[in-house]
Structure 1
Amino acid sequence: MSDDNELVKADSVTVSTNLPPVFPLLLAVPKYDYRLFNANGKLADVWLQKEYQKLSIKSVSRENRKRNRTGGEQDTEEVFDQDRESTESCDDMIISDTDSNSQLSAAPSSSITSIVAAARENGLVHPPKRRLTSSTFTEAINLSNPVPLVGTNSSSIVYEAMNNSSSTVTTTAVAVSQPQHSQPQRPRTPNAINSPSHTPISDYEEDQPQQLPLPSPSASPVQSGETKISTFDPIENQLKHIPATQVELLELMVNLSGYFNERNQNHLIFRLLQNLNRSSLSTFNELIHNNLRRDLISNLPLEITLKILSFLDHKTLLSLSRVCKNWCKIINNTSIWINLLKRDKLITSDEVIHKELENSEELLEEWSENSHDVNVAQVLYKKRCIIVNRWMDPNYEPLRKSVPVKSDGSKVVTCLQHDDEKIITGVDNKSVFIYSTRTGKLLRELEGHEGGVWALKYTGNTLVTGSTDRTVRIWNMKSGRCTHVFRGHTSTIRCLDIMHPVVIGKDINGADIIFPEYPLLVTGARDHNIHVWRLPINNEDDPEIDERPFDCNDSENPYLIAVLSGHTHSVRSVSGYGNIIISGSYDSTVRVWDLMENGICKHVLTGHHDKVYSTALDFNSRTCFSGSMDSNINIWNFDTGKLLNTLEGHTMLVGLLDLVEGVLVSAAADASLRIWDPKTGKCFSKLEGHTGAITCFEHDGLKVVSGSDKMLKLWDVKEGRFSRDLLNDVAGAIWQVRIDYKRCVAAVQRYRNDEENETFIEILDFSEPPRKRFERLQEQ
């Protein structure tokens, strides 16, 4: 580029002092950049190349006219005068400064004229054999005309008429005229080939005398007699071989197109498409349309595809399954729908999912219209989703059964638990009743306690009850027989919990640590103590034995493991998991007990200012929660005993806490419920609508059912809003309520008249299959 700068400077001085400027662009501000953007050497602009092509042709015309006035050859001037209009608008002339600077023999003007005429007859546009350099052009002009050009280093376009090895003229080129709106410059084939009626030259037609020219990326003039080192080596390497066929020309064009920027590439493609007919455009349209299609699901590895689909909801997945058979097959994957069940909190237990999928025939028969080629997991998701929507739909009326509670005295239901087969209630008149969940029929009445039953829980066929008679009784529910009587507490047993063996960590060898080794029973009483028992399990297939139940004193009982002492007032709540027991007491403290260390009290959590009524435990996050009469909820780290947070908002006793699926719900005597984030302590929602203290509630992470005087309400956990009243004919209190995914079971009070009242067990079933529901409604 330094040689070019010096040339421009020398020419500008000469033009300003001698003759009118031949190249008006010499003094213009450069608008180009020859820097290489990358290793492939893409060019920035080509506009200057075109301008110099035009100006070089003009300069040849002026010099010939000048020589004509001074006695030069007339035939040369005539040639350039005849083609003046074509050369001034020529956009197809390509020059190069990279060929050898070999000296040319002197050629008279008549020879040039004959060459031009021959080129016109043969229909050629550019010389195919050799490309021209500015240095060879200067030598040719100097030999044909002794009059010097303006400036010592001026350059222009010449026509090479001789071969290096022969004096016979083989090729030539002339500028072909084009209108101002002509196509972008490109190599031209003979006129006959440009005609739509002719086919392109093939590789077998290499004996044609016409050859195609080469486009050159640079057109700046160089000094005569000097060898210029090319700056654009990658491009020059492409231009070393002159294409002889259209196949070679096509390969050259494809290679050179890589040096365009993205905008110019698009422009080149557009200009090429402009020359096509409708049939060809239609073919390209179909080709482009098909290539733009990308299967974003099928083309990826299955693991990545399943990961992408795991972020979609069920509506989107069902829509995608209708796109094509391949997508339908992928989306019909069992793991996708099982993960979706867990993510949407429809089923979170692998054991429950496995149990449901085992009964696939019944599931497909009741909840699928087409039982062939259907994914069972997808049908299970459909079932659970329909049931949840029924809960939240105020217009849906569940299948309802009302069962009167058999009672001779007080009719207060103190505790309640249920599953698909049975409903178990404890009443404060010494009795325990077992009802059929499906029919509401009384199956058994368990008698033996001498006082009201205030706590109960069961696992499998084993039922545990605690009473005001200060005893704990173990029952075989299938036979209705009491198998064990545990004595030791000296006051009313107010709360109890059952702890199952679970994995609590890893040992030094990486093996699972399971604790406890067998199920444990934890009981809390008003005598300030907590007892830990080994729970005897009653299997359903055990033979019935008519002998009396096991019954002995506390000191001789082999089932007693530990007595946890430390509280100074009544133990109101106990929660256990693994090796940890959390207890809340009326002494305003919460205590942490570790059974792996012989039941030692690890921490006494002090922070409440009044009685503690409720507790909850999250073993994985190492936190526990306590609700108190001081209207606050405290969050503790039970490993360190540190108070992490205090949740404020309630204005009265927080009597109930429930932590399920990472959602903490509290109920208080101020007639409100609150939904909290147990990790941050943020209150998501405040549920208001009850007119009195909340007496009972339960939630499953999706919905909350709460009871108070004359009200049983349903709330949407995700939306944090009221959904519907589940019962509208309750005249008294709601004693207890329990829910699962398809049923709500509540113990409610009704008045026959102003003096007498009666307690009922209300069963609301939202899981009736669509076909059965339709048949039932038709019968009604």
Structure 2
Amino acid sequence: MQKEIESVLSEFRRLDREKRKIFLLSLVEECDPHEVFILQQVLKLKGFGAFDIIGALPPELSVKILSFLDGKNLCACREVCKTWMNITNESAIWRLKCLEMLEIDKGAKIAQNMNIPKEGWKKWYQQKYRREVNWNNGRVQTITFLKGHRERISDAKLKENILVTGSADRTVRIWNIETGECIRTLCGNSFSCVDFLLEEKIVAASTFFRSSFIWNMETGELLRELNGHVSAVRCISLSKSYVASCAFDGSLIVWNWETGEKLATIPAEAVQIRIFESTILSLGSSSIKAFDIPNGNCIFSAAFNEGLLGWSYIQNYLLSKGAEDSMNGFPDQIVSSSNILNIISLCSDSRVYDFDTRRGRMISVNSGTLQLILLNETSRPIATRPHSLCNVEQSQPKEIVYPQGPYKSILSKEIFRTLNMDNRRIIVGCLSGMIAVLDFEK
């Protein structure tokens, strides 16, 4: 028997690769099921029982395939075998994951042009992923306080690391919230509302005494004082060329802020306004209207009964898309927004709130408690969940959890007047004039 086996093996060794293949195929065809099972067990013992398709591919293809997974599943893949661990450690995968997260943070066009680290992609992604987990659990990591205002915060606007606040103490303050420094204090009157443009370095603020002011952010120079309203101004909005304000009597006035020229006075019956390039969006008591600039003609009108809460979501959504895209298909966006607006109207008893429409988050103050509501489209991975106006479901409100220390005691004594949020922070403006920065990343 042994001699016969040796004879067959000797003949097999003399065969070339192609003939060996034919011989093996013929041999398997001659085997019964039990004999095939024995062959499988032998191959398994030899380590040939499974074929690693991913590991056998060219590196660029295996990286491309695994890059479709989220961070959590990538970490699970690295446990499969050494080959997969090496693939998941490739910086190209983590670079793509970082760009996905940056696209949600900043928008697609900005993400592609940002100066982000050339090395350490995985570490950067892990840091941001932990931030998202903290956010979705409502767990604040650090709190800092910005002190300077002596009376209530009436309005606040946040863009990147710059916060502009208006107060009843007759000042507007410009803050770097990364450092906690008050960069500049602008004086005037009891301010009701503020807005600013980062690129143009312009700050606008209006008062309860019918006037609006335009300053240079860097120098503090007063560029314009704008008058024309006959009642207190309740809202102001800036674009690259125009500034618009609406008063408590519903009137809306548009100026060219560079020249100070008044372009239009519109009896819009407006409660809130927002400029998008050459279009003004206006909220009335039961409708939303759009007016063109500089003529002030009404170019769109639709019934809208979701009030300030619904308006806040709509304008945040439009702003998140970027100025160049925000008004494209605008009427359709209003119509398609009914689902999400019905959901957030459940929180209509709150008068202080803000939205992050890129991630589907809402923060609000209810009975003096700061709460987080997640408006999640699906259960997709955190870093790849898109913003949307429809097909949304609401999670139960979560109370924001402060870090250990005196923070809860301090904030429980405050009355929250304004809320702003970005991808990592909540900014709270208080009746006392204090500002709290709640950070989910540090």
The one of 742, 746, 752 aligned to 2:428: 746
The one of 409, 419, 426 aligned to 1:728: 409
Does 1:456 pair with 2:138?
no
Q: Identity of aligned pairs, percent?
A: 14
Which residues in structure 2 correspond to 1:267-278 (within 5 Å)?
267-269=34-36
Paired residues of 1:414 and 1:736 also in contact (CA < 8 A): yes
1-structure distance, mates of 2:28, 2:168: 90
Does 1:196 pair with 2:21?
no
1:749-779 C-alpha deviation (Å, 9 max, x unpaired): 5xxxxxxxx43223345554xxxxxxxxxxx
Structure 1 residue 495 displacement after superposition: 1.7
Aligned residue for 2:297? 600
2-structure distance, mates of 1:609, 1:317: 42
Structure 1 residue 605 displacement after superposition: 1.8
Aligned residue for 1:266? 33
Aligned residue for 1:589? 287
The one of 98, 110, 116 aligned to 1:357: 116
Does 1:575 pair with 2:269?
no
Does 1:638 pair with 2:331?
yes
Q: 1:670 to 1:599 in 2, by over 3 A?
A: farther
Amino acid at match of 1:761: I
Aligned residue for 1:507? none
Aligned residue for 1:430? 170
Amino acid at match of 1:762: A
| SS of the residue 1:296 aligns to | helix
2-structure distance, mates of 1:664, 1:387: 14
2-structure distance, mates of 1:432, 1:488: 21
Amino acid at match of 1:342: E
The one of 370, 376, 397 aligned to 1:687: 397
TM-score by structure 1 length?
0.43
Structure 1 residue 681 displacement after superposition: 5.9
Aligned residue for 1:762? 436
Aligned residue for 1:289? 47
Which residues in structure 2 correspond to 1:63-142 (within 5 Å)?
none
1-structure distance, mates of 2:423, 2:230: 39
Report the structure, 1 or 2, having the larger strand content.
2
2-structure distance, mates of 1:252, 1:741: 62
The one of 279, 299, 305 aligned to 2:62: 305
Q: 1:266 to 1:442 in 2, by over 3 A?
A: same
Paired residues of 2:224 and 2:257 also in contact (CA < 8 A): no
Paired residues of 1:524 and 1:574 also in contact (CA < 8 A): yes
| SS of the residue 1:469 aligns to | coil
Structure 1 residue 747 displacement after superposition: 2.5
Corresponding residue pairs, total? 404
Amino acid at match of 1:590: I
Amino acid at match of 1:759: G
The one of 346, 349, 352 aligned to 1:650: 346
Structure 1 residue 477 displacement after superposition: 1.8
RMSD over equivalenced CA pairs, Å: 4.8
Structure 1 residue 395 displacement after superposition: 8.3
Report the structure, 1 or 2, having the larger helix content.
2
1:393-427 C-alpha deviation (Å, 9 max, x unpaired): 788752x44343343xxx11111234676543211
| SS of the residue 1:312 aligns to | coil
2-structure distance, mates of 1:664, 1:526: 30
Paired residues of 1:404 and 1:760 also in contact (CA < 8 A): yes
Q: 1:474 to 1:741 in 2, by over 3 A?
A: same
Paired residues of 1:426 and 1:453 also in contact (CA < 8 A): yes
1:282-323 C-alpha deviation (Å, 9 max, x unpaired): 7x666x523634241451573x53443233232332454574
Q: Where in structure 2 are there 5+ consecutive unaligned residues? A: 12-18, 322-328, 378-387
Paired residues of 2:237 and 2:244 also in contact (CA < 8 A): yes
Structure 1 residue 733 displacement after superposition: 0.6
Q: 1:652 to 1:520 in 2, by over 3 A?
A: same
Aligned residue for 2:247? 525
Structure 1 residue 467 displacement after superposition: 1.9
Q: 1:354 to 1:196 in 2, by over 3 A?
A: same
Paired residues of 1:419 and 1:437 also in contact (CA < 8 A): no
